[in-house]
Chains A and B, each alone.
Chain A
């Protein structure tokens, strides 16, 4: 219910929202949880395993129970914490993890089966019969498991990624964080203050008390206003710092648009990477529940959450509230409620010496041992000494003390330290370099202590940055933290530790009993701490129960490892912009539009988009177009864009020497204006890449690499240069992007090329010349990847589209036209030219019959390694051609006809195949054991995947024009 005169919500701005199909009213500044509680909605979800009715437990990001689905026009977001989701006009939400309605969940039957569903239930039950697992058990478990549901559609929402840098990152904006930010900000340091909630102030917004003589919330507002006015301070609201990483890098998730109606281009979330040499961890502490029987009913919540709902949101979660706590500080819950006019039924304090000053019954030395109410709390049973009695109540506020929020300090493998006085873990100093925990996050529980430690940390950082700052602390409450640890209350019935994953004290004890005594084993056996809340409320309680069950102390028992992220981060935010085409940059050729204009389907080759074929009317599939293009090149002339090939400009007196070192063969003796084919090895002696290099000048070469290995070869060259010959007179740079280059191939290629040149040239095979084309300086290479007379014409990229379109127009006049990747592939297979299908990384020069290209007269990268036994000889699989009358496939394996088909009888494999319109047969390239000695043999090709079983003839890999007369014509 709403309490008049309380809260920081804006009562002038009412907001309507929906939950499970019903419309409710709230105010701007409400969370979904506070607005539902204001409407007396206590039941908000069902538990994970037993489908128990659940209500709001906390008021923060640690919430284990109140997880809902937010439904947008185009998306559905599951597992949203109602305690963090702000309400806005038109917000639509629904409960999750139920079968049927929230009030009558069919899977609640699990709760009655609970004696059978204890820890390890899956492992024990679904082991036999084995065949049942896949068909029966797994589908049923999959259907029952999980929390929220997804729409099944792609998340096409807008997400953002960003980077930020500062001198001091302050995580959390309670008293410690605000004081640290003020101190560092006043000293002129670049400060980022990140706050995960939707308002700055932390617990100051939820507690009474004064700072510097004014109400704490007013002091917070004043501090924020001062920070806002500083140009060196960046305030980041709704930003949860989720991880600490190397070199002062922190991950953070900002909720940008999730608290507003969707708007085009407004990001839903932003994933930040913040780099800061200094960080102040001021994210406070998390209050811990007490495990007593049936402690999970809607209406039972943390005492600090009750104060937050009352003081920050103006809501009382109950009409008659009971308090169960072991600390003095939590008594403020009762006092605040009474002051606001809410009835407090009783205070139950397990400490026998607990004081009694509140205006309500106080039971010292008492414990809650049971609760009632199916869909919401209606009463509790209390035990005091030998006597038990009932209290009628609709809200039980509990507090078992506080756990410092140490998670970030553990993200780089730091182990926390047990503090006996606090009965809690505190951070190990220096666990994350540059990060200092202050205030409650470091176990300093008073407001004054928070202010003082926040300022002290900031002063230290500011002086490390070479700046000066004044120490200046306001007055504030500095009461000691007095607690007697209480983890679990003995009694009949299950007592929950992990609300999110339905783990009870009984499960933890069972784990210990069955030998899972290590905390890591217990965690995995019971699934404690493995829910979306990552056990924020339950970890310390669970290991206390484990410690008790195994007869060890808590420090000996240890704790599990906290890993990033601190709170859930949507993958969509981390991968912002990376969906679909955003996954990688797209590289477009200058001929791209011209190819698309001709309806060429584009295929990805690396990051490039290349035309696969150019369909013509009457060609039902790619095959007809491909066959036509192959015949066109063989009979007249074809044009293909080959700009994607890597091009590297190499200059210097040692350029030739450098190429000799990179390639197996010699380039220093290449004549001016000549091109040579070269083979490059890796350091391990296997083939890296092949291509041609041209000598453009005395000290000037141009290297061509394959498309796929362009980057790889450049990297290799940089490495070789820097590691082995840094002092050589050689410089090189990529010019791949600088030139648009087109292959012109076929018997009419020369006529077409010459019709373009201002001065026709008579270029010999493997020659290069500078030419003038349409008023532009270009280069003409006479090289061939098709086996026909071939040229490559290169112009500066800006002229690429024009040249391509002009070439096509004239080629068509000659009966030619464009050809795509499919035809290019067929042409080179017919000619026996290799690509990275063949030189796939496990192939030696010997395997492809190029061992003679490793010059004996000089050294080169990989030369010695290539002589290792096992990289050459008849035992190796060697490149051969294959010819068949029926369809064959790449990836198929080769066997001797008549032998059994299995792994041991494997003779080799196929790397490339095509239907050859020129030869009139299926052709392939592949690797066959001792293949070169077996030409003419019949071999059996088997492809189990495609169901092929074909007898092929082993051939020389060059099927077309083996003498090379055509390309030299």
Chain B
């Protein structure tokens, strides 16, 4: 039997409007690392091979393009690499469950401020931090990767809605700035 064809939710779409670029990002494997009671030590040992440690709440750590993103109590997502052996934690493949959208450019904060009920001021949400919040009515994991750059993880089945809402917000923000759409 021939090999199955793989498809992402948005076929790698991207769009630039008013200096902001929205794109479906390819981030590689995503695995949930959920530390068992008493498993912190052995999990930390396993993560050492990647040069990473479990991140503090609301933050992510990064090394050589591999990220460990806090997603909940005793839980983080390992993004960009297959997980090493981790005795003290439950590992669950989440690679296909999420669509990652990157939003970057001057007015990225203005776009996000219309979809996300978070304080986006750099002091309140600095680079290197992550929030579990919502994009309109969708659950989302939002990473701030630079002052004006975010990665937004939404459920894969809702990717089209997320794209539509972000695209129309981009259009409105650009129209406000007097840019022709």
The chain A residues found within 8 Å of chain B, CB to CB, are 158, 160-165, 190, 256, 263-267, 273, 275, 577, 582, 584-590, 607-608, 649, 651-653, 727-729, 731-739, 755-756, 758, 773-776, 795-799, 801-803, 806
- Complex: how many Å from CA A739 to CA B157? 11
Residue of A nearest to B111 (CB): A162
CB contacts under 8 Å to A, within B22-57, are 32, 34-37
B95 contacts A796, CB within 8 Å? Answer: yes
A162 contacts B114, CB within 8 Å? Answer: yes
Q: How many residues of B contact A (CB 8 A)?
A: 52
Contact A577:B4 (CB < 8 A) given known A652-B36, A737-B156: no
Interface-centre pick from A190, A267, A776 (highest chain B CB count, 10 A): A267
A798 contacts B6, CB within 8 Å? Answer: yes
A737 contacts B97, CB within 8 Å? Answer: yes
Chain A residues lying within 8 Å of B113, measured Cβ to Cβ, are 162-164
B157 contacts A588, CB within 8 Å? Answer: yes
A737 contacts B157, CB within 8 Å? Answer: yes
B138 contacts A585, CB within 8 Å? Answer: yes
B145 to chain A, nearest CB (A): 21
- Complex: how many Å from CA A799 to CA B96? 9
A737 contacts B119, CB within 8 Å? Answer: no
- Complex: how many Å from CA A163 to CA B115? 8
List 29 interface pairs A-B (beta carbons < 8 Å), by A numbering.
Answer: A160-B172, A163-B114, A164-B113, A264-B175, A265-B181, A266-B176, A275-B119, A577-B165, A582-B165, A587-B155, A608-B157, A652-B90, A733-B32, A737-B156, A738-B95, A738-B96, A738-B97, A739-B96, A774-B1, A774-B3, A776-B4, A798-B6, A798-B7, A798-B96, A799-B4, A799-B6, A801-B5, A802-B5, A803-B4
B55 to chain A, nearest CB (A): 17
B121: Cβ under 8 A from any A Cβ:
yes
Chain B residues lying within 8 Å of A735, measured Cβ to Cβ, are 92-94, 97
Residue of B nearest to A803 (CB): B4
- Complex: how many Å from CA A729 to CA B138? 30
B16: Cβ under 8 A from any A Cβ:
no
A165 contacts B120, CB within 8 Å? Answer: yes
A737 contacts B155, CB within 8 Å? Answer: yes
A584 to chain B, nearest CB (A): 6
Contact A263:B5 (CB < 8 A) given known A652-B90, A727-B37, A738-B95: no
A165, A577, A651: the one within 8 Å of B124 (CB): A165
B118 contacts A265, CB within 8 Å? Answer: no
Contact A775:B90 (CB < 8 A) given known A265-B174, A737-B97, A738-B95: no
A588 contacts B6, CB within 8 Å? Answer: no
Contact A588:B120 (CB < 8 A) given known A158-B172, A796-B95, A806-B4: no
Residue of B nearest to A737 (CB): B97
Contact A733:B160 (CB < 8 A) given known A266-B172, A798-B96: no
The chain B residues found within 8 Å of chain A, CB to CB, are 1-8, 32, 34-37, 74-75, 89-90, 92-98, 113-114, 116-121, 124, 136-138, 155-158, 160-162, 165, 168-169, 171-172, 174-176, 181
- Complex: how many Å from CA A756 to CA B119? 51
Chain B residues lying within 8 Å of A582, measured Cβ to Cβ, are 165
B136 contacts A267, CB within 8 Å? Answer: no
Ranked nearest first, the 10 interchain pairs of A and B with the lowest CB-CB distance are A737-B97, A651-B90, A797-B96, A774-B4, A731-B34, A587-B157, A731-B90, A265-B175, A775-B3, A738-B97
B161 contacts A265, CB within 8 Å? Answer: no
A166 to chain B, nearest CB (A): 8
Contact A589:B157 (CB < 8 A) given known A158-B172, A738-B94: yes
A158, A162, A651: the one within 8 Å of B92 (CB): A651
Chain B residues lying within 8 Å of A775, measured Cβ to Cβ, are 3-4
A802 contacts B92, CB within 8 Å? Answer: no
A592 to chain B, nearest CB (A): 9
Chain B residues lying within 8 Å of A755, measured Cβ to Cβ, are 1
B98, B118, B181: the one within 8 Å of A163 (CB): B118
- Complex: how many Å from CA A589 to CA B157? 6
Residue of B nearest to A263 (CB): B175
B167 to chain A, nearest CB (A): 10
Chain A residues lying within 8 Å of B158, measured Cβ to Cβ, are 585-587, 607
Chain A residues lying within 8 Å of B120, measured Cβ to Cβ, are 165
Residue of A nearest to B110 (CB): A162
Further pairs besides A265-B168, A652-B36, A733-B92: 19, Cβ < 8 Å: A160-B114, A162-B114, A163-B117, A164-B113, A165-B120, A265-B172, A265-B174, A265-B181, A585-B138, A588-B160, A590-B7, A731-B74, A732-B90, A738-B97, A758-B1, A773-B4, A797-B96, A799-B5, A802-B7
Contact A267:B157 (CB < 8 A) given known A731-B36, A774-B2, A799-B6: no
Interface-centre pick from A266, A273, A585, A803 (highest chain B CB count, 10 A): A585
Interface-centre pick from B94, B116, B120 (highest chain A CB count, 10 A): B94
B3 contacts A729, CB within 8 Å? Answer: no
Chain A residues lying within 8 Å of B137, measured Cβ to Cβ, are 584-585
- Complex: how many Å from CA A799 to CA B2? 13
A264 contacts B4, CB within 8 Å? Answer: no
B114 contacts A797, CB within 8 Å? Answer: no
